[in-house]
Structure 1
Amino acid sequence: MNFLRRIVRPQNKEDENFYYELKELLNFKPIKLSHYKKAFTHRSLKLVDAKGNPINYERLEFLGDAILGSVIASYLYKKVPEGDEGYLTQMRSKVVSRDHLNSLGKDLDLIRFVKSNITNNQISNNIHGNIFEALIGAIYLDRGYNYCHQFIYEQVILPYVDIERLEGKISSYKGYIIEWCQKNKKKYSFDSYEDTGNQSKKHFSVRVSIDGIMIAKGRATSKKKAEEIAAKRVYYAMQDRMKNS
């Protein structure tokens, strides 16, 4: 522990203030402040290291973008087991969209840490999202993947990732499918049958077909639940087409 304390001890008053603000923001102790300083350094300063490599947030932004995407993808994969690849990709894109990341950066007021040679009026709005991603990259280099996961979960997933809100809340998928089919003059059918198999409790299966083509199936302990499961899967399979017509 003494060794750790020696590493994190700030060298001057400015570093001390930066350290404690970071600690409050991250909810854990930063170890190597240089990673975080780089995450908030704008290219306009034209800083370079001893080898001539630029010192700014852009490479950390690239790293943070990849880590953020992987954490969100993992969360969605586990949270929505019935979502297909297209659905999961679309949902991840909504979470990590530039507008959303800019909002996150603004909410955390990350701009207060940025060092640059240009005024705030000249800075692109995208800087808020860029430095948010760079901060994730700095956390990864400083504390590793688990701390990145913790930060993203606390700052992104818990407050902002609402599955129903992101996909557009639908109270009844069966009702939505029927309404869409009627609007677009499509023939539809919900065909149900008992499917208990080796289980003692009665189960039902439902096949949903549109224009004679079976799109999806659902199975549950009641016909109504099975219909809703099947209809939801139809929605996931056809959502792009449905939203554009």
Structure 2
Amino acid sequence: MEISNKRVEEIINFIKGLNLDLKYQKEFTKRKNILYINESLTHSSANSEINYENLEFLGDAVLRLIASDFIKNKYPYMQVGERSELRSHLVSDQWLEDVGKKIEIEKVLIIGKKALRDKSAKATIQAEATEALIGALYESLTTLEPIKDWLVPFWDEKSKEVLADPHRKNYKSALQEFTQSKGLSIPTYKTIEIDKKHDNPKRFFCTVFIKNQSIAEGSGKSMKQAEKNAASKALKYFENNLIDQ
């Protein structure tokens, strides 16, 4: 695959911006590693043969392994179930999207015109490319340590946020467990699309019901997010109120 000198310089500067351990920086002057990084930053809409899909698959495995190692060392007394729950947040699409935004991966992505116009795909592409980048870093360096060291600050921030939440961000599960413990009916959700614009953070509107009684409402850019926000508000409602049984 041929890439221009300008693109090579762009990739080298991007890698420098990740603040990987300096002793590994020289690896990204090698052509084969430049090509790995370029591949991880190329969407299938721009190149149907050489794109980030294979590296994304590798990145998923690398990410789960080093996230598990991070949790084991950071929280040695945490139970296995709790570790698994925390890891789900540390490797989630939302977390990958957030990391992608922080490293400004969008600026170096190669995306076809059609996909570029699809605003609804923007978040997904950023998350997938970030995961592919992790795969490309491993393919280039063949060691996990520098990748883990790079990701630890992001994980420190996210794990503190998750662990500070008594419901561990799993609001729908927490709400169902609560209602069942109180002998109430399982929560039901009614979600409607109120805007066709994919980039609207309030595109979907959800109402959560218990025993046919409206308890709380929430909005989100996806049905899943709207339901999660409604469940979160329902839990807060129950902290201060009692529902007739």
Larger Rg: 1 or 2?
Answer: 1
Work out the CA distance in 1 between the residues paired with 2:164 and 2:148.
26
Find the counterpart in structure 1 of residue 136 from structure 2: 138
| Secondary structure of 2:110 counterpart | coil
Match status 1:152 vs 2:147: no
2:164 to 146, 161, 168: 168
Match status 1:34 vs 2:35: yes
2:50 to 52, 55, 62: 55
Q: Is the 8 A contact 1:42 1:57 kept in 2?
A: yes
Find the counterpart in structure 2 of residue 85 from structure 1: 80
Match status 1:25 vs 2:25: no
Q: Is the 8 A contact 1:39 1:134 kept in 2?
A: yes
Match status 1:126 vs 2:127: no
Find the counterpart in structure 1 of residue 44 from structure 2: 43
Q: What per-residue deviation string (whole Å, max 9, x for no partner) do you get for residues 111-135 of structure 1?
A: 1111121253315121111111111
Q: Which letter does structure 1 place at the counterpart of 2:40? A: A
Q: Is the 8 A contact 1:105 1:132 kept in 2?
A: yes
> RMSD of the alignment, in Å?
2.9
Find the counterpart in structure 2 of residue 228 from structure 1: none
Work out the CA distance in 1 between the residues paired with 2:75 and 2:52.
33
Q: Is the 8 A contact 2:10 2:108 kept in 1?
A: no
Q: 1:78 to 1:11 in 2, by over 3 A?
A: same
Q: 1:148 to 1:167 in 2, by over 3 A?
A: same
Q: Which letter does structure 1 place at the counterpart of 2:41? A: F
Deviation at 1:26, TM superposition (A): 4.2
Work out the CA distance in 2 between the residues paired with 1:78 and 1:127.
31
TM-score of the aligned structures, taking structure 2 as reference length: 0.57
Work out the CA distance in 2 between the residues paired with 1:100 and 1:14.
27
| Secondary structure of 1:44 counterpart | coil
Unaligned runs of 5+ residues in structure 2 are 167-180, 183-234, 239-245
Q: What percentage of residue pairs aligned between the two structures are identical?
A: 25
Q: 1:17 to 1:167 in 2, by over 3 A?
A: closer
| Secondary structure of 1:157 counterpart | helix
Q: What per-residue deviation string (whole Å, max 9, x for no partner) do you get for residues 9-59 of structure 1?
A: x97233123212322224342242000000011111234xxxxxx211011
